[in-house]
Structure formats: structure tokens, C-alpha cells
Structure 1
Amino acid sequence: MTSLRITALGAALALAALTGTGPAHAEAPTAATAPTATAVPAFSDGQGLTLVPGATEVHSPTDFTLTVTTGQLSGKHRIRILLPAGYDADPGRRWPVTYFLHGGGGGVDDVAAAPALHADSMITVVPDGGLKGWYADWRMQNTAEGAANWETFHLTQVVPFIDANLRTLPDRAHRAVVGLSMGGYGSLHYAQARPDLFGQVAALSGGIDFGMWTIRATVLATELNLTGAWCAASSSSSSSGSGDCTGYGPYVDSDAIFGSPYPVFNADRVWKAVDPATPVNLAKLSGTGITLYTGNNDVIDANTEAASKTVKARLDQLGIPSRFVDYGNGSALAPSCNGGHNYGCWAPAFADYVPRLAAAFAAAG
């Protein structure tokens, strides 16, 4: 067996595979600029979540951010919620829900960089996924991050919390999970882990093949907070070309999230168990609407393209329908897209996807 050797340098370079930094991190309105709103839906504690009093940020009557605490995670965490314009005007109507999972180094305000996600046909929920949470219940709970059960937080707390507090259509046919970069892994993994919850899934430039050493190295690089080499080497992490990197939080053990990444004596068993690209996991998506987007015009999306092609080929072999959009250098997608790992491509990809998703929700009745 060939040993998988992931050095710190290799991890730093492979951070190219998927961390989703960029202009992406659209800032929330400040107190001086935020629109004034007097009425947002009232939320109650429950499902293991406790609202932080006085911490709700109101960007507009249909765009607000809650702050909660939970025993599953250390600290306070934000949940941004985008309501359709007609939510208040039609109090008898229930709505489908889309969960958007942000990329590594990002946060809930990244959704502002993809305006199509604030749609009048659905509710969009953007839960905090951590700078390097990887949408996982971490193997190690005693790191500098403290409690880190992201999957449990999202799937057993946030989803039922939203259904309890908003007028949702609480069934899989009217619930989607979508994500990009690190969140692309999260969306496909969540759809596989809980096919009872999600009837639609989309992964944009996703880290969706843990069989690729570059993607495993990316996770390692975020654990070790090795952003310096990548930030110095590239400006493609930002659609504006700024190359900004926010960092991935405190250093944690390289085995903290998924355990050892080395395929020796089955040490990497957790990686294999949660790998979205394995046929056994892909088979769980039978009956789920699946969409994959990627470019290929920088070192990051060259890797996400390879991962997406593997997933698409295996879905085809399993006879599971899916839609795969490889926009290459971006020229056919939008003038803003250079085929790289940035919102210049992801925003128009969502503009293409959201109407299709709305149609799928409508077809479900």
C-alpha cells in the first residue's frame, strides 16, 4: 500500500483545494447603515438552542441574524435568515427552506455575495459553520475550539428550530442543502447522512472526494491554520483579486476533525466513512435532486473539478440522475466569472440554480 504523506508544506499548498475564502465575506451592515425594521418573526428557545438576548441583527424586515448558544458548540453562533418578500403578507402560507453552508474561513454574512439566495420563492437559512468546522462532529472535543459538534448542531438543532419558529414546509421534498467549497462537502455529506431531511442538494466547487490527497491536505491545513503560504502564493481566492485570507482560527491537532488522514492499518476509517464520493454514500442520494457546479481555471477549482467529475461518474454508474455544470474558465457562465474559486463565479451559479430549485419545490406540491 502506498502511504499517504501529508506534510505541513503539502497541506499549505493543498489549501488550494477548497477553503472558500474571498470577497465572499460580505460584511453585515453596521449600526449606522443597517436598515431600520420593527418586525421580524418572534423566535423561542428550543431544540437545544438558546437565543442570546439583544443580539439579533436586523438588516431588513426579511433579512436578520440571530445569535444562539448550544451545548454542542463552544461560544456564541449566528444564524442568518432570509425571508421571501411575501412572508408577512400571506400569513397562511408555508414555505420551502434552503440551507446554505458557507466555505472555510467564511461566515453567515457571505450569503450577501450571492443575491439569488434571497429569493421570493423560499426561506434561506445560513447557519454558522465555523472557520474550519467542516460540518462534522469533531473526533477531538478538547482542542482550542472546545466543543465542536457542527453536524449535530445543524441537523438535530437548527433544522427543527427553524421549523418550530417559521412557517416552513417541514418535509424533505421542500428542503434543500447547498454549499460551496468546504460547504460543498457539508451539503453533500448532510444530504447523505440525512436523506430524510433533504430532497435537493447542490455543491459548488466542493471538497467532495476525500479519496484525493489534496482535499485531505486541505482539511489538515485548516486545522493547522496554514494560510500564509496560500495567501502569499495566490490572489485567486478573491473575485476582486485581493487575495484576502481571514485565517482559520486557532491551531488544533491534525487529527482533530476526522482523525488520522493516513491510509495505514485503516487509521483513516473516519475519512472513508464520511467521504461523499464513495459509492456506498452516493447510493444514499437515490431519490434526491443533485446538482454540481465547478470551474477549472485556478489551482483550487482544478481540484474541485476532479472531485466533481469523480462524483458525477459514480452517480452515473449507480443510475442516479444528477446535473453537472463544469463552467471551465467561466466565459460561458457570466462576465464576472474567471473560472476560479470565488463569488464572481458562485453568484451567477446560484443565479442559475435557484430558479431550478424553486421549480423543483413547486413541482413537489
Structure 2
Amino acid sequence: MNDEKYILFADPALILASPRDKGALASVTPSTPKALGKLTYSGSVQNSDDAAPISGQAVVTAFDAKRNVTRHYSGYVPNTSQGFYEGDISYTLPGERIFRGLISVNDGSFSGQFTIPKDIRYAGRTGILNVQYWDNAGQSGVAYVDTLSFTGSDSTVSDETGPDIQFFYFGQPLMNGRQILGGDNLTIELSDANGINLTGVAGHGISLAIDEDWTTAVDVTELFEYNIDRADLGQLNVALSNIEKGTHTISVKAWDNYNNPSVSNISLNFTSSSEFRIVDVYNYPNPMDRETTFWFRLTDAADVSLSIYSLGGRKLRKLDLGNLGRGYATQAWDGRDEFGQLLANGVYLVVVEGKTDLTSDPVQTIQKLVIAR
């Protein structure tokens, strides 16, 4: 019997998805970056096939100074003379991530700038700046420097204001009391002139709490991504799939790179994923003159119609919108009835009606509309 013992780490025939080409960081300034200061970089992309210069995107990641880690281990081997054993093992790890953002690569060149957080180690060791780029044609590569020497702090700048925090749902700003579907993505937008603290040092990350219970808050820092070519604005998407039906307060806490905190709360009405609803119905402008646009959101795909009624209940116009997908939808209206006549000034009712394969009866939402010419 073959009693050899081995560990298979990988398939020897597997081709690793490593960057193919090598770029160059031509400039990283200042040469000795300081906390709270700006780090500016630029470089170029090299194509090993000598084809046209690459135009695409790149992920820029910066790490704090390397750190030594020592771990203690112990164990016991039964039925041997060795018995109990213990010891220490030391190794080096990259420092905490201090920046991660997406930038454009144009005709083989790239550049950018970001703020160095206050939470760096000042350890006298060197950090890393890594740029990994790609294009739609399958070209990819990496450029990096591992000699960033962080020293001191920039005392010439001042910032005492935390990040601005905004909530969005399907691309639309959220306000207190709005209804959303449990399990859908809630978009949280963060902005600050000096960037968002992503280090996680001393709790300086992005946290989300439900009903202001910070003892069970979740660290969502890893979900944050800067907008392309921005180091002051980004967002993260959170799916609140396990939240109970009803009204809940969502709280988000974030820090900027100067360690200024901000907390923002929003109260939302969560509905069951099995219930079909037509929500967030409004039109703009309202009052209207000759044209207006209706907005509404469907919690599931449905056959939808939009009707205009007088206050006395007479149907004046019906617009069949067909089968619409889940999410926000819009429909313009020219202020005319079924016969093409402009409606008179006054107050009217707008009825948005939808029917899905899961509902035996149509679901309706009613909104008031004012015509004033």
C-alpha cells in the first residue's frame, strides 16, 4: 500500500491569472510622504506586444509600512517522546490598506492623488503603492513601488468636519419613511475632501447598525469603492436581507482620513420580498402646465397602466405601459385626455395599477396631480 503523505496545492497545468505586462511608476511625490498630506503619482503602461498604447482602467492600492508579526504556537504529540511542544514564529506582513481606488488609463498613461490617513504607523519601514491595469482587449499588467517611507505629519492643513453620508435606493435619494424591499441593495454614498479612512485602525472604518444597536454593528469597510478617478467620493452597496418587516433605523458611521467621524441615520419601512407593491409614486413638475413626468417603483416585474381620473371618478386618460421590470420606471404625459384635448386647470387623481403572475388582483397606488396654466 502506498503510504506516502502529500498535500496537493494546485493543478500543475493550471495557468495563473497573473498580470501579463509590467508598467512603471515614473513619479511618486513627495519622496517621504507625511500623514494628512497628499501623495501624487503618475506612470505608464507597457505593452509586451508593442501594440497600440493601452487605454482602460486600473486599481490603485496603497499599503502602510510593513509590520513584523510574532505568533506563539503550542501542541502535544501523544504516545511519543516529544510530548508537549511550543515556540514562536515571526514573519513580515504588508501594512494596513490606506487607499484603494479606480483610475483611468489613457493612451498608456495614468495619474492620481489621494490623502494619506492619520492612522499610519510611523514605523520607519517602507510601504507599497500598487497599480494593476487592464483593458477590454485582455491586456493587463502591474506597476508598483515598495519604497514608500512615511515620516511625520503635515501640520499645514486643517480639517474638523467628518464625511458626508447619503442614502440611495435604485439610484434615487432616500428620505425618512420611504418603503424599500427587504433584501434589496441599499447604496450608501460617502464623500469627504480628504478621503475616507479605510485602515480599520482603532475602529476607524465604516460601520452599519440597525435600530442604533452599535453592539451588533457590522464593519462594511471592505464594501466601499471610490468612484473612478475620485479620491473624495465613493459608495458601498449593502443587502439587508435578514431585516424584519416593518420600520427600522439604519445608521452608518464613517471616519475621514483626519479621523473626524460622522454618523447618519435614516428610518425606512421594509416590506416582505413576497409582497408586490407600487411605491414612491410622484410626478414632476407638480403643479404641471402642459407636460409632466411620472415616477414610480415596482417591487417586482408587472403589467402596468397609468390612468388619470377627475375627482368625481371619471376616467379621462389611460396609458398602457406594458410589462415593466422591477425597479424605478418613468412615464411622460402631455396633459391631454383620450380625445387629445388639454385638461382644464384643477386637481386630478393619478392611479398606477400593476398585476404580476403572483397576484390574483391588480395592485393600485393613487396620487394627486394639479394642473395650473
Give the TM-score, by structure 2 length.
0.22
TM-score relative to the length of structure 1: 0.22
Q: Which structure has more strand as a fraction of its residues? A: 2
**Greater RCO, CA 8 A, separation 6+:** 1
Q: Which protein has the bigger helix share?
A: 1
